[in-house]
A and B are shown apart, each in its own frame.
Chain A
Amino acid sequence: MGAQPLMRIENLVKHFHVRLGAFGERAATVHALDDVNFDILEGETLSLVGESGCGKSTTGFTLLNLHRATEGKVIYQGKNIVELDEKAMRPYRRQLQIVFQDPYSTLNPRMTIGEAVGEPILFHKLATKAELKDRIATLLADVGLPPRFASRYPHELSGGQRQRVAIARALACQPKFIVCDEAISALDVSVQAQIINLLLDLQQKYGLTYLFIAHDLAVVRHISDRVGVMYLGRLAELATREELFEHPLHPYTKALLSAVPEADPAHERSRQRQILQGDVPSPLSPPSGCRFHTRCPIAMEICGKVVPEWREARAGHMVACHAVTEGLPG
């Protein structure tokens, strides 16, 4: 698409230090993110998929400097934003929004919905006091909630209604970039469709960029320009939507694609799903070499020893796997 990178992520690492044992007597490190490299292009929707716990939310948090990166850079508007303190970060906060995976824990229980959506508007002076009420009503209507919800509190909403409030709050800031972390996963398909249509419309109108974290591959396929696949804290593959779904190269991506359920009971009962065998390794002690080698159906000897290089196998198609020979010299 020839777009400019909006954000460039270089060698990003995030480790958490935790204490284990009934009395917290053992120290350990969670390798949530290791050596992650990719660009996010202006105006695109880049989706991140991968098993639960593979580091998708951590990527979103660390990109926006909501978690301190352990190592690495995130270049945005020429600045490495992950080394900024909260004060220096402030000019970027409005532009870079996130819709959290767990809306309940992020909405202030003592603030009405109207206050929650209106707060960033006033804080960033995006509307006058007189315009505020209309603005809030418009945002709520956009996500399919009636204006009267403005006077309710978060606990008075259903799960899906809360999720939509979180989306309205992010949109209220008129951001450039939004991390949508499972932002529509609690919505029924009809409301989901409405929100997806809204996100695509806003993107067309304002050139918004999305990092879309989701597990529903049909939705991902529907809205993404490019898709990144993560496995246990590392990127396994990243390519355009067509490439990834039509020409997956990484064995993990292939297994993931084979598991998509379909709305057809007879088919679902009789299907031969390829379920990956073996336990998901613990991020407390990730496997050496290729992190997928303990479950990979085609693992070779080298896989347990050497970390596969993150390289371009086909045009714009990045992958990290020893078994992929495409694009290698010779």
Chain B
Amino acid sequence: MMMASNIRPEPPAKTGERLLDVKGLTIEIETRTGPATIVDGIDLHVDKGETLGIVGESGCGKSLTMLSMMRLLPNKIKVTKGEANFAGRDLQKMSNSDLRKVRGGDVGFIFQDPMTSLNPVMRIGQQLAEPLIYHRGMSKAEARKRAGELLKLVGIPGAEDRLDAYPHELSGGMRQRVMIAIGLACNPQLLIADEPTTALDVTIQAQIVDLVKDLRDKLGMSVVWITHDLALIAGLVDRINVLYAGTVVEDAPVDALFANPSHPYTQGLLASIPKLSDERSTRLSSIGGTPPEPGRRPKGCPFAPRCPLAEAICHERVPSLEGLGQDGAHRVACFVAQRKLEAA
């Protein structure tokens, strides 16, 4: 009764057509001492049918970047520069009513914190049905039926019975899967998933990854998947962006990133992953120091205070994201990595 799954279907048709194009997005926060930069002119793009993985240190601005695109930033935090284009339209300039139509419809969102984004006093079936009624014009009965199917798709046992549960009656992983079901409900063109599987065990993680792959291949859905679990997304994503202190420090096709991680921060991240073969209690390697706080960025490369390879120039100038190799598809923002490659 065991089933081998996960033979990769034909890769989705990538048209090279930009679906999401974020340019120079800068996010600042009001503090007592004036505005402080959290996200510093970030550039991101996702093509139609493409899956982009985003990794980066806790607190580096992953969630705020995604929230800002949908104009869901909390008080005191604002986009001060840049644009975020979805299917050719700038989300920052769209009218509120147009934006509401996109949000939860053509752009599905899976938030990081289920407990804060699920309504605690509303049954989950109703929370799943709402976007279907609003965006896809379903009747209540149709929406309830579809809600049950969605819960089943994300592997919640006894799905029909669980439609009537309140969020607190579900386990942590079930709540997270309700969020995933809501994000996928309307068959979005773009799915933005912020740490969507942190509470799920490996078997269900694999099932969710397969589900997303499936939708991507069938519907040509594009995906932005924020995670710290590089192993999990290794077989899912086409490209990975590594964020540090609110900027992209490395952008590479997934194979290139694992084969040849070039930014010292990326190298540190990969070295910190515990292996199944490790001995117990060996100390895990971790990157010393802490990332800069908003408003306290160092002058040059933001990673310089923690970088084992830092040189004089790193404390003076900010490295820009430059393509390596012939096709330039592997880009890195690091003086040393760029020089190494030029020499090679």
In the bound assembly, the distance between CA atoms of A296 and B2 in angstroms comes to 9
Instruction: Please determine whether B203 and A51 come into contact, CB atoms closer than 8 angstroms.
Output: yes
Whether a CB of chain A sits under 8 angstroms from the CB of B97 is no
CB distance from B114 to the nearest CB of A (A): 8
Instruction: Please determine whether A189 and B4 come into contact, CB atoms closer than 8 angstroms.
Output: no
* Residues of A71-106 whose CB lies within 8 A of B: 101-102, 104-105
Instruction: Please determine whether B58 and A160 come into contact, CB atoms closer than 8 angstroms.
Output: yes
Partner of A284, one of B112, B158, B284, B290: B158
Known: A190-B286, A222-B274, A222-B280. A161 touches B59 (CB 8 A): yes
Cβ–Cβ < 8 Å partners of A264 in chain B: 231, 234, 258
A172-180, A255-263, A312-320, A322-330 - the one binding chain B = A255-263
In the bound assembly, the distance between CA atoms of A187 and B135 in angstroms comes to 34
* B200, B201, B236, B283 — most chain A CB neighbours (10 Å): B201
CB distance from A58 to the nearest CB of B (A): 8
Whether a CB of chain A sits under 8 angstroms from the CB of B5 is yes
Instruction: Please determine whether B58 and A280 come into contact, CB atoms closer than 8 angstroms.
Output: no
Partner of B169, one of A16, A104, A144, A245: A16
Instruction: Please determine whether B201 and A52 come into contact, CB atoms closer than 8 angstroms.
Output: yes
CB closest residue in chain A, given B293: A146
Whether a CB of chain A sits under 8 angstroms from the CB of B206 is yes
In the bound assembly, the distance between CA atoms of A283 and B293 in angstroms comes to 45
Q: Would you give the 0/1 interface string for A130-160, flagging 1 where the beta carbon is closer than 8 Å to chain B?
A: 0000000000000011101000000101111
A2-10, A115-123, A191-199, A301-309 - the one binding chain B = A191-199
Instruction: Please determine whether B57 and A190 come into contact, CB atoms closer than 8 angstroms.
Output: yes
Instruction: Please determine whether B203 and A190 come into contact, CB atoms closer than 8 angstroms.
Output: no
Instruction: Please determine whether B235 and A269 come into contact, CB atoms closer than 8 angstroms.
Output: yes
In the bound assembly, the distance between CA atoms of A30 and B155 in angstroms comes to 17
Q: Would you give the 0/1 interface string for A251-294, flagging 1 where the beta carbon is closer than 8 Å to chain B?
A: 00001100111111111111111111111111111000000000
In the bound assembly, the distance between CA atoms of A216 and B158 in angstroms comes to 25
Whether a CB of chain A sits under 8 angstroms from the CB of B204 is yes
Cβ–Cβ < 8 Å partners of B55 in chain A: 188
Instruction: Please determine whether B228 and A224 come into contact, CB atoms closer than 8 angstroms.
Output: no
Known: A104-B115, A221-B278. A21 touches B164 (CB 8 A): yes
Whether a CB of chain B sits under 8 angstroms from the CB of A1 is no
Instruction: Please determine whether B235 and A284 come into contact, CB atoms closer than 8 angstroms.
Output: no
Whether a CB of chain A sits under 8 angstroms from the CB of B34 is no
Partner of A241, one of B232, B235, B273, B280: B280
Whether a CB of chain A sits under 8 angstroms from the CB of B220 is no
Instruction: Please determine whether B8 and A269 come into contact, CB atoms closer than 8 angstroms.
Output: yes
Known: A215-B200, A255-B203, A273-B206. A279 touches B157 (CB 8 A): yes
CB closest residue in chain B, given A200: B281
In the bound assembly, the distance between CA atoms of A232 and B283 in angstroms comes to 34
Cβ–Cβ < 8 Å partners of B205 in chain A: 215, 261
Instruction: Please determine whether A275 and B207 come into contact, CB atoms closer than 8 angstroms.
Output: yes
Partner of B158, one of A57, A193, A275, A282: A282
CB distance from A281 to the nearest CB of B (A): 6
CB closest residue in chain B, given A102: B115
Whether a CB of chain A sits under 8 angstroms from the CB of B310 is no
Partner of A281, one of B157, B171, B280: B157
Cβ–Cβ < 8 Å partners of A196 in chain B: 274, 284
Instruction: Please determine whether B204 and A51 come into contact, CB atoms closer than 8 angstroms.
Output: yes
Instruction: Please determine whether B113 and A189 come into contact, CB atoms closer than 8 angstroms.
Output: no
Whether a CB of chain B sits under 8 angstroms from the CB of A50 is yes
CB distance from B187 to the nearest CB of A (A): 23
Q: Would you give the 0/1 interface string for B199-229, flagging 1 where the beta carbon is closer than 8 Å to chain A?
A: 1111111110000000000000000000011
Q: Can you list 11 A-B pairs with a CB-CB distance of less than 8 A?
A: A52-B177, A57-B171, A144-B290, A159-B58, A186-B112, A217-B276, A255-B203, A260-B202, A264-B231, A276-B203, A277-B3
B residues apposed to A, CB below 8 Å: 1-8, 55-59, 62-63, 74, 112-116, 152, 155-158, 161-162, 164-165, 169-174, 177, 195, 198-207, 228-232, 234-236, 254-255, 258, 268-270, 272-276, 278, 280-287, 290, 293
Given contacts A19-B164, A49-B201, A185-B198, 15 further A-B contacts (CB under 8 A): A20-B164, A52-B177, A53-B156, A102-B114, A193-B274, A218-B275, A223-B280, A255-B203, A256-B203, A275-B207, A277-B1, A280-B157, A282-B157, A283-B158, A296-B1
- A-B pairs, 7 with minimum CB distance: A282-B158, A52-B173, A268-B235, A160-B58, A193-B284, A193-B286, A188-B228
